[in-house]
Structure 1
C-alpha cells in the first residue's frame, strides 16, 4: 500500500498538465500512487496523462464524462489505496519536498489529521511569484476558514484518508467553494488540521476558468459559510459579516486582475464595506489599495490596475 494517493482532476488542462505531472514526478518522497481523472476534456489532456502514465507506472488515468471537480475528486478518493490523500489540480505545481514534509509531520504526530503549507501565486513563471499566503501556527479553526482561508487551494492539503472518508468527501452539488465546504466539515468533525510555515505549492492564477466566475464563487462561499454556522452555533453574525467583507475584498482584487466588466471591482468593494468597514480595511495594505484601484479602474491602464491588486 502506498503512503500517499495523489488525486489529480483535470479538465482541458493541456497547457499546464505536463508541468503539474513533472512536479509530481520530482517529489523527494517516492512512496505514492497518482490517479489522474480526465474529466470530459476535449483537448489533449487525456493523451498527455496517458503518455505520462506509460513512463511513470505509479500513475493511472481514469476517464470521466464532465462530472465536475467534486465528483471527480470523490471518485479518485474511492479508488485510492494510500494512507494519506494529497490533492493536486491540473494547473498547480508542488515543490519537490511537498510530500516528504507532509509525511514527516503526519508520521511524527498521529493526532494530526491534515497539513498544509504556504502557497505562492504566479501568472506565467513560478520562479516569479507575485504574492504568497501566510500560515499561522496552531490548529485550523472554523473562523480561519470562513475568513481568508489559509489553505487557499486543495492542491495544498494532505489529509488522512480515514478522516476524509469520515466526513463524506466533497459535496457534489457544489462547483465553487467545494474545497472550503469540505474543509469546514472536516474541521467541524474534530479533525486536527495544521499549517506548516514553508512554501509547498505554486498556484497558477488565470483570468479564465472556474476561479474567474466571481458571482458563482461568492454563492459557493455563502453555501460553505452556512455549513460552518450549522456546525458552530457560537459563530456570531458580526464574525460572519467580517468574513464576508474579507471575501468580497478578495473577489474585488480578483476582478481587477481578470477580464470582468468595468465597475465589477467597485461593486464588490462597496458590498464589502457595507458588510464590515473594519474588516474590509484589515490589513490596511490590502484594503486601501483594493478600494483605490476599484475607484480609479476606469482611468487606469490594465497593467497598473493588476499591479495594485497584487499589493
Structure 2
C-alpha cells in the first residue's frame, strides 16, 4: 500500500539522510530497502564521506535510476559532518536517518510517519533488531517503554526511552528539529547520543509504533564500531559525549530520568565501552588518567541529580581510576 503518490516538484513528506563511507558490500542492499518502502513520497540524501572503495560509483547508479536520490560529496570528514550536511539539504516535513550498511524493513517509514501525522507528536520511535552473521537479537526486550505501542506519551511517563540513543529507529518532525537547533558533534565515537538526548528533553510528546522499523548490522572485523571502541581515543570520545549527556540530565532535574540515565551508563553503555577497552589484547594506557577523570565527572553529575547514592559511588567516586587501569576489577562505583 502506498501512503501518498511519489513527489515531483513539491517538497517530499520524508527526508532520509544516509552518511556513507567505504560500504560497498552493503550500500546496495541498504538503498534498495529504503527506496522499496511503501511510503514513496520521500527523498534520500546520501552524503558520501570520501569513499575510496567503489561506494560512490554504486551511489551514482542509484541516483541515475531514481530521481528521489541525491548524492552529495562531503566537504569535511566524519559521520557527524555528513549528517549535518545532509540536514542542510533536507526539505521533507519529517526526518529519518539510516546508516549505510543497515536495513529498513518494508512499511517502517509508513508506520512512523502515519503515527506522527495522526498524533501531532514530535518524535516517533519503532522497535529494532541487531544481527550478525551468526545471530539476531532484540536489544529493547528489557526496556519498559517498548513493552507495547504508545501514542502521545512523555519522557517523564516513560523515561526508559533514553536507553535507546541511536538516531536511526525514529522519525522526527523537521520543524521541531530545526527549532531545537539539533546538530551532530564531531566525535570519534557516539556522535548521536547528545543530539538524541537533547531531542528527548525538548519534545512534548512521543509515539512508539508496534513495528520493527530498523535492522542494525553488527559488522565483524576491524571496521566495526566494536573494534574501534577498543582504542583509548575512541573511549575518551565516548566518555566526553556521555559527560555532556550527564550534564543535560542533571539540568533536567527529574529523578526518574536521572535514575534511568545512571543505570544505562553504569550497567550498560558505560560499562560495555570500558570493558571493551580493558579487554583489548594490546590496550593503550596513555589516556588512563584522562579516562579516570571523565569517569569521575560523569559519576559526580549523577550524584548531583540524585541518581546514584553516595554509598554506591564511593568516597567520593574513588574507584573510577582503578576501573580505568585494572581490567581484572569492576569498580564499586559501577
After TM superposition, give the deviation of residue 238 of structure 1 in Å.
7.6
**Aligned with 2:248 (options 218, 227, 230):** 227
1:165 match: secondary structure? helix
Task: Select the structure of larger CA radius of gyration.
Answer: 2
Quick check: 1:93–1:201 contact (8 Å CA) kept in 2? yes
Quick check: 1:170–1:178 contact (8 Å CA) kept in 2? no
After TM superposition, give the deviation of residue 155 of structure 1 in Å.
1.7
For residue 281 of structure 2, what is the aligned residue in structure 1? 261
Quick check: 2:130–2:139 contact (8 Å CA) kept in 1? yes
| The 10-residue stretch of structure 1 (169-178 or 18-27) with the greater mean CA deviation from structure 2 | 169-178
C-alpha RMSD over aligned residues: 3.5
The TM-score with structure 1 as length reference comes to: 0.74
Change in 2 beyond 3 A, CA 1:117/1:51: same
After TM superposition, give the deviation of residue 237 of structure 1 in Å.
11
Quick check: 2:127–2:209 contact (8 Å CA) kept in 1? yes
Quick check: 1:148–1:243 contact (8 Å CA) kept in 2? no
For residue 196 of structure 2, what is the aligned residue in structure 1? 183
The TM-score with structure 2 as length reference comes to: 0.69
| The 10-residue stretch of structure 1 (205-214 or 155-164) with the greater mean CA deviation from structure 2 | 205-214
Quick check: 2:23–2:55 contact (8 Å CA) kept in 1? yes
Structure 2 residue 185 is matched with structure 1 residue 172:
yes
For residue 36 of structure 2, what is the aligned residue in structure 1? 26
After TM superposition, give the deviation of residue 41 of structure 1 in Å.
1.6
Between the aligned partners of 1:51 and 1:28, the Cα distance in structure 2 is 21
For residue 290 of structure 1, what is the aligned residue in structure 2? none
- For structure 1, the residue ranges without an aligned partner over 5 or more in a row are 280-293, 296-311
After TM superposition, give the deviation of residue 76 of structure 1 in Å.
0.9
Between the aligned partners of 2:72 and 2:100, the Cα distance in structure 1 is 14
Quick check: 2:277–2:283 contact (8 Å CA) kept in 1? no
1:93 match: secondary structure? coil
Structure 2 residue 90 is matched with structure 1 residue 68:
no
Quick check: 2:79–2:186 contact (8 Å CA) kept in 1? no
Structure 2 residue 162 is matched with structure 1 residue 162:
no
- For structure 2, the residue ranges without an aligned partner over 5 or more in a row are 1-10, 300-307, 313-326, 329-334
